[in-house]
């Protein structure tokens, strides 16, 4: 490899088709066991880094990245990248905004159905030798109202599928016009009314300053008793101790959580995230929204295309 070959670091798994694209003309280094300390030591050797959600691309990482030009996020949310530091240093941050949207929507629907029918808890008792049908009487979806907070690419896909299940969809999104809501066949409502009217509430917004801690005790206090929450967006959107309190008091009936403010939750055993993941009325999955074979292929190609374009100055 010549001195001016672009070097790309992959600290998290990327599908082979994406790696093949990146390897044309660049040197790609996979290091899936990189610790945060080691990342700081090696980042200075790279022109680009491509991460999923586990790597925190902090200000320190970007400052140590003396030849870093591009940060690629193999997914939608860029909340694990310190955007102000990247901007200050003239680095491009690119994401893969479409490749896993259907996967995220499908996982949200999977969580919705398992929450309504106690699939996970019932499975656990059966595997432990039980057969307790009385304990797992579920809630029907048909005719119920699904509140969708955030009506972007993923929220829309969830809404279409929920309508197929016979649900009424009410959506809140500060950027949604009444016309586009009508076109999508959903009713537009304020944040408070969406929460208050929901039998099931699902979150599909990015984690940014305006959404951090959005679902707090006040908002949860508006929920119908028996409301169930689905969060396959980001843990930080929910005030987790308020959610835990609402579950404990019975103010809401259950939650299905694919993401936590501390991930993985049991790495932080005393955290509220860990208490939620362990809670009997919570269905928990380990940030699997984007994890289908198909979505990871699409995302890998999408991010490889974007990172190459950025490295070649085509952006
Ligand atoms: C995303 O923002 O697209 C997800 O967090 C994807 C992932 O799991 O990497």
1 lies in some domain? no
* 93 and 125 inside one domain: no
Which residue's C-alpha comes closest to atom 5 of ligand 1?
53
- For the chain, 315 residues long, the average pLDDT of each consecutive 10-residue run is 81 97 97 96 98 96 98 97 97 98 98 98 97 96 98 98 98 94 95 98 98 98 97 98 97 98 96 98 98 97 98 90
Q: Give yes or no for residue 55 CB within 6 A of ligand 1.
A: no
* 141 and 159 inside one domain: yes
By C-alpha distance, which of 298, 297, 280, 304 is closest to 124? Answer: 280
Q: Looking at the 3D structure of the chain, how many domains does it have?
A: 2
Q: Give yes or no for residue 308 CB within 6 A of ligand 1.
A: no
* Mutate which of 12, 50, 77, 232 for ligand 1 pocket (most atoms within 8 A of beta carbon): 77
**What was the pLDDT predicted at 70?**
98
* 41 and 189 inside one domain: no
* 89 and 106 inside one domain: no
189 lies in some domain? yes
* 126 and 40 inside one domain: no
* 135 and 230 inside one domain: yes
Buried b (16+ CB within 10 A) or exposed e, 61-99: bbbebeebbbbbbbbbbbbbbbeebbeeeebbbbbbbeb
Q: Give yes or no for residue 77 CB within 6 A of ligand 1.
A: yes
* 86 and 132 inside one domain: no
Bridge partners (DSSP) of residue 170 are 147, 187
* 142 and 67 inside one domain: no
289 lies in some domain? no
* 159 and 244 inside one domain: yes
* 238 and 301 inside one domain: no
11 lies in some domain? yes
**What was the pLDDT predicted at 3?**
57
Q: How many CB atoms lie within 10 A of CB 166?
A: 11
For 171, the 3-state DSSP assignment is strand
* 32 and 175 inside one domain: no
255 lies in some domain? yes
Give the CATH number of the domain where residue 198 resides.
Answer: 3.40.50.720
46 lies in some domain? yes
Nearest atom (ligand 1) to Cα of 78: 2
* 82 and 120 inside one domain: no
Nearest atom (ligand 1) to Cα of 75: 3
**Do the beta carbons of residue 120 and residue 114 sit within 8 Å?**
yes
**What was the pLDDT predicted at 290?**
97
**What was the pLDDT predicted at 315?**
80
242 lies in some domain? yes
Instruction: Tell me which residue range forms the domain holding 279.
Output: 101-284
By C-alpha distance, which of 123, 200, 216, 135 is closest to 161? Answer: 200
**Do the beta carbons of residue 277 and residue 263 sit within 8 Å?**
no
């Amino acid at each position: 490899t010549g001195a001016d070959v672009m070097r790309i670091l992959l600290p998290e798994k990327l599908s082979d088709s994406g790696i093949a694209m990146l390897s044309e003309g660049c040197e790609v280094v996979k290091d899936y066991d990189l610790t945060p300390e080691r990342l700081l030591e090696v980042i200075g050797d790279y022109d680009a880094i491509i991460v999923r959600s586990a790597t925190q691309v902090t200000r320190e990482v970007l400052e140590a990245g003396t030849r870093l030009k591009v940060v690629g996020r193999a997914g939608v949310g860029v909340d694990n990248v310190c955007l102000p530091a990247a901007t200050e240093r003239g680095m491009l941050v690119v994401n893969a905004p479409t490749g896993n949207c259907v996967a995220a929507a499908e996982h949200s629907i999977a969580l919705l159905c398992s929450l309504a029918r106690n699939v996970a808890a019932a499975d656990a008792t059966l595997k432990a030798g039980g057969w307790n049908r009385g304990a797992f009487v579920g809630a029907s979806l048909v005719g119920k109202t699904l509140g969708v907070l955030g009506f972007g690419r993923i929220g829309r896909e969830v809404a279409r599928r929920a309508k197929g299940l016979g649900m009424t969809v009410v959506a809140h999104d500060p950027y949604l016009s009444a016309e586009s809501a009508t076109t999508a066949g959903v009713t537009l409502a304020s944040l408070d009314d969406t929460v208050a009217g929901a039998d099931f509430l699902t979150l599909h917004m990015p984690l940014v300053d305006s959404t951090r801690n959005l679902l707090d005790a006040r908002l949860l206090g508006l929920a119908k008793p028996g409301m169930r929450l689905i969060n396959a967006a980001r843990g930080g959107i929910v005030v987790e101790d308020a959610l835990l309190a609402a579950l404990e008091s019975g103010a809401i009936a259950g939650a299905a959580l694919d993401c936590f403010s501390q991930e993985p939750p049991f790495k932080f055993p005393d955290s509220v995230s860990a208490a939620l993941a362990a809670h009997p009325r919570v269905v928990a999955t380990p940030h699997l929204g984007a994890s289908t074979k198909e979505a990871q292929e699409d995302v890998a190609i999408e991010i490889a295309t974007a990172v190459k374009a950025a490295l070649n100055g085509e952006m």
